[in-house]
């Protein structure tokens, strides 16, 4: 090293040292006389069905104040072994003892879990190390491992609350993004998240979270973030920037969140020193429920421009086998199918549910035409049919496979044929022909408000096709125009039913929830599902067509929204989009 370079290096080092912070452990991380000490018991789990062949250690901390007669709060940590040593950076069990004794945390059982390892078959071979596969993934595998394997096992011995407001989850680095993923996917199980030096980078797609937080209807979560400006900057991204990006997104969307930034790198020094502060912040006013944001900075949270956060999902009907095909008539009544039961139901504008038609031939997709008739994909009988409001059935086409359909103000019908990868056109005289083919699994479809474009989704991909409709019904100039969001457990979007509002926004039922796309083809908002079942279809109902009805598994739900849906008998030219 030359003299000049050495001098520059020395000056830079001294400057960094002058501004670097020291992060000693405080008194809350030390033992104190008279503070009741909890117990820590080690276990090994070898019976995972979700991560087959893996083995892992986990530890259960039980505070001295625990009584089996009263459900205890819960806190889960990933990379658990590093959190419960008496001389380490975290000393979480000691911090728990001190905070619980002073009433700054509720009586909380801690579950500290290591990532799984599939042991090698011999000393000459290598095992498989699951840490990144489990922690960095943004899908539901690890959540299900916790919720269906480890926590039920722990609950056999300890009385743990099922109240999500009293359940937290945390971790560091990949363990932190793992904790965020679990709570993000399951706020009905965890609502407090502790994240230190979180890996919100593209190790396995986690860099998408800031965008999803901004787009998605707010969830009832409280999130604590920590990072340092000397964190990693490698081929998958910059940890410091990723954490700031997520913090900005959480603040934008109105979450109950805070962050503590420091000068450390990718280590536990800073996170360990502030662990007591972070836990006090997470568990403050623990008796009060954590609720979803009402939209952050007003209309800044874009999801809330489409819905009123104060208006949640309401159950309309249940006890069916599989609901599908909601459609609205001119009075705002909504029809839906129960495919396995061969039944069509009607929901009146005042909420009364009744059977409209029995023996429907496994009717699936529905739409009401301008003539007041209810059109149906009667796939069990390979027909397209129409029903008058007194239940009389008229056959329009035979020997066709169908799933969903739309009808124009000219009574032109388009319907999807998923098994044969194509879209059919049926004119008012009953002539039919294929107008699009070679699609993966064409499912839902919808018109633009002016009925000059037809949108067709492909369940097996993340794309929705846009076609221009010609005067003779032909579809031209097709493009995979809309791009849906996926997470890494899904190789397919699961796109199903679709509807359009009068401003040209496209509402799509997907595995992530209801994705809303603007006219230029971008997902601008994602609404949470009303339950665990995937949404199969949706429709704007009610007299003003501003109540969104969704079919999901064996149930139907509704929700008041700030949008008005289009219908087949009206042509509307939507406003010019912002590009």
Cβ partners under 8 Å of residue 416, min gap 6: 365, 402, 403, 404, 405, 422, 423, 424, 442, 443, 444, 445, 456
Residue pair 443/421 in contact by the 8 Å Cβ criterion = no
Residue pair 552/533 in contact by the 8 Å Cβ criterion = yes
Distance, CA of 487 to CA of 400 (rounded, Å): 34
Would you list which residues are annotated within the binding site for a divalent metal cation? 443, 496
* 3-class DSSP state of 342: coil
The neighbouring-strand residues paired with 463 are 483
Q: Output the pLDDT for position 21.
A: 82
Q: Output the pLDDT for position 15.
A: 42
How many beta carbons lie within 10 A of that of residue 193, not counting itself? 27
How does strand 413-417 pair with strand 422-426?
A: antiparallel
Q: Which residue has the tokens 């962050």?
A: 259
Which contacts of 407-412 are long-range, i.e. CB under 8 A and separated by 24 or more positions? 407/367, 407/369, 407/370, 407/375, 407/568, 408/447, 408/451, 408/568, 409/370, 409/451, 409/568, 409/569, 409/570, 409/571, 411/369, 411/370, 411/371, 412/473
**253 shares its domain with 328:** no
Pair of tokens at residue 371: 């003539």
Distance, CA of 482 to CA of 226 (rounded, Å): 36
Cβ partners under 8 Å of residue 426, min gap 6: 384, 396, 397, 412, 413, 414, 415, 432
Residue pair 347/333 in contact by the 8 Å Cβ criterion = yes
Q: Output the pLDDT for position 99.
A: 98
Instruction: State the Cα torsion 77-79-84-86 to the nearest 10°.
Output: -140
**344 shares its domain with 243:** no
Length of the chain, in residues: 579
**266 shares its domain with 130:** yes
CATH code, domain carrying 148 = 3.40.50.1820
> Measured in whole angstroms, how far is the alpha carbon of residue 460 from the centre of its chain?
18
Distance, CA of 131 to CA of 324 (rounded, Å): 40
In a domain, 1, yes or no: no
**490 shares its domain with 375:** yes
Distance, CA of 565 to CA of 496 (rounded, Å): 17
Q: Output the pLDDT for position 2.
A: 46
Give the domain-ending residue among 284, 310, 334: 284
In a domain, 576, yes or no: no
How many beta carbons lie within 10 A of that of residue 566, not counting itself? 23
b/e map 121-152, b = 16+ CB within 10 Å: eeeeeeeeebbebbbbbbbbebbbbbbebbbe
Sign (positive or negative) of CA dihedral 527, 530, 532, 533: negative
Pair of tokens at residue 375: 């059109």
Distance, CA of 414 to CA of 5 (rounded, Å): 72
Region of residue 383 (left: phi > 0; alpha: psi -120 to 50; beta: else): beta
CA angle 220, 222, 224 (to 5 degrees): 155
**385 shares its domain with 529:** yes
> Measured in whole angstroms, how far is the alpha carbon of residue 304 from the centre of its chain?
16
Quick one: which of 148, 23, 163, 22 has its CA closest to 90? 23
**411 shares its domain with 515:** yes
Q: Output the pLDDT for position 35.
A: 98
Name the residue range of residue 81's domain: 27-284
**269 shares its domain with 122:** yes
The neighbouring-strand residues paired with 184 are none
**367 shares its domain with 248:** no
**247 shares its domain with 321:** no
Per-residue model confidence as pLDDT tens for the chain (579 residues): 444 444 444 444 444 444 558 999 999 999 999 999 999 999 999 999 999 999 999 999 999 999 999 999 999 999 999 999 999 999 999 999 999 999 999 999 999 999 999 999 999 999 999 999 999 999 999 999 999 999 999 999 999 999 999 999 999 999 999 999 999 999 999 999 999 999 999 999 999 999 999 999 999 999 999 999 999 999 999 999 999 999 999 999 999 999 999 999 999 999 999 999 999 999 999 999 999 987 655 445 667 788 877 888 999 999 999 999 999 999 999 999 999 999 999 999 889 999 999 999 999 999 999 999 999 999 999 999 999 999 999 999 999 999 999 999 999 999 999 999 999 999 999 999 999 999 999 999 999 999 999 999 999 999 999 999 999 999 999 999 999 998 766 777 889 999 999 999 999 999 999 999 999 999 999 999 998 899 999 999 999 999 999 999 999 999 999 999 999 999 999 888 877
* 3-class DSSP state of 492: coil
How does strand 56-62 pair with strand 233-234?
A: unpaired
How many beta carbons lie within 10 A of that of residue 104, not counting itself? 16
DSSP 521-544: S-EEEEEPPSSSSPEEEEEEETTT
**100 shares its domain with 189:** yes
Pair of tokens at residue 228: 């340092």
Q: Output the pLDDT for position 241.
A: 98
Is 496 annotated as catalytic?
yes
Could you give the number of structural domains in the chain?
2
Residue pair 167/183 in contact by the 8 Å Cβ criterion = no
**343 shares its domain with 274:** no
In a domain, 113, yes or no: yes
Give the domain-ending residue among 284, 317, 346: 284
CA angle 437, 443, 447 (to 5 degrees): 85
**488 shares its domain with 350:** yes
pTM of the model: 0.89
User: Which residue among the candidates 79, 412, 496, 501 is catalytic per the annotation?
Assistant: 496
CATH code, domain carrying 464 = 2.120.10.30
Would you list which residues are annotated within the binding site? 443, 496
């Amino acid at each position: 090293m030359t003299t000049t370079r050495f001098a520059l290096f020395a000056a830079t080092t001294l400057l960094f040292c002058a501004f670097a912070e020291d992060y000693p452990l405080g008194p809350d991380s030390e033992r104190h006389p008279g503070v009741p000490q909890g117990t820590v018991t080690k276990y090994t789990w070898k019976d995972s069905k979700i991560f087959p062949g893996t083995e892992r250690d986990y530890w259960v901390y039980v505070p001295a104040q625990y009584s089996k007669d009263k459900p205890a709060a819960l806190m889960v940590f990933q990379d658990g072994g590093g959190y419960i040593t008496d001389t380490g950076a975290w000393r979480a069990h000691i911090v728990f003892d001190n905070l619980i004794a002073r009433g700054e945390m509720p009586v909380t059982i801690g579950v500290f879990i290591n990532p799984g390892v599939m042991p090698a078959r011999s000393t000459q071979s290598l095992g498989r190390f699951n840490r990144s596969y489990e922690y960095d993934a943004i899908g539901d595998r690890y959540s299900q491992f916790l919720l269906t394997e480890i926590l039920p096992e722990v609950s056999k011995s300890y009385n743990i609350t099922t109240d999500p407001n009293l359940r937290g989850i945390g971790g560091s680095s990949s363990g932190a993004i793992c904790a965020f993923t679990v709570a993000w996917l399951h706020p009905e199980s965890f609502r407090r998240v502790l994240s230190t030096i979180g890996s919100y980078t593209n190790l396995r797609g986690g860099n998408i979270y800031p965008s999803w937080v901004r787009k998605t209807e707010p969830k009832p979560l409280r999130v604590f973030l920590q990072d340092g400006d000397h964190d990693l900057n490698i081929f998958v991204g910059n940890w410091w920037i990723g954490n700031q990006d997520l913090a900005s997104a959480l603040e934008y969307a109105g979450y109950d969140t805070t962050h503590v930034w420091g000068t450390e790198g990718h280590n536990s020094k800073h996170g360990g020193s502030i662990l007591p502060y972070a836990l006090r912040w997470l568990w403050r006013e623990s008796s009060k429920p954590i609720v979803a944001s009402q939209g952050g900075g007003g209309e800044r949270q874009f999801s809330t421009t489409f819905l009123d956060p104060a208006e949640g999902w309401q159950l309309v009907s249940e006890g069916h086998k599989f609901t599908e095909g909601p459609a609205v008539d001119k009075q705002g009544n909504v029809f839906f199918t129960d495919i396995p039961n061969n039944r069509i139901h009607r929901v009146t504008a005042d909420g009364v549910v009744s059977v409209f038609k029995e023996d429907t031939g496994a009717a699936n997709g529905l739409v009401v035409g301008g003539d007041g008739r209810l059109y149906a994909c009667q796939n069990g009988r390979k027909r397209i049919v129409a029903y008058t409001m007194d239940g009389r059935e008229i056959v329009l086409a035979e020997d066709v496979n169908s799933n969903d359909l739309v009808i124009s103000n000219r009574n032109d019908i388009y319907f999807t044929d998923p098994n044969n990868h194509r879209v059919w056109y049926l004119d008012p005289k009953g002539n039919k022909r294929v107008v699009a083919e070679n699609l993966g699994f064409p499912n839902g479809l919808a018109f633009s408000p002016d009925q000059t474009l037809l949108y067709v989704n492909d369940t097996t991909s993340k794309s929705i096709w846009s076609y221009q409709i010609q005067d003779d019904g032909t579809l031209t100039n097709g493009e995979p125009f809309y791009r849906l969001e996926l997470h890494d457990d899904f190789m397919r979007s699961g796109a199903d039913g679709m509807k359009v509002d009068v401003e040209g926004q496209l509402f799509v039922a997907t595995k992530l929830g209801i994705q809303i796309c603007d006219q230029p083809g971008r997902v601008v908002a994602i609404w949470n599902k009303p339950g665990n079942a995937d949404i199969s279809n949706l429709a704007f109902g009610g007299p003003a067509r501003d109540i969104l009805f969704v079919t999901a598994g064996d149930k139907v739900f509704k929700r008041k929204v700030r949008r008005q849906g289009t219908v087949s008998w009206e042509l509307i030219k939507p406003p010019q989009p912002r590009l």
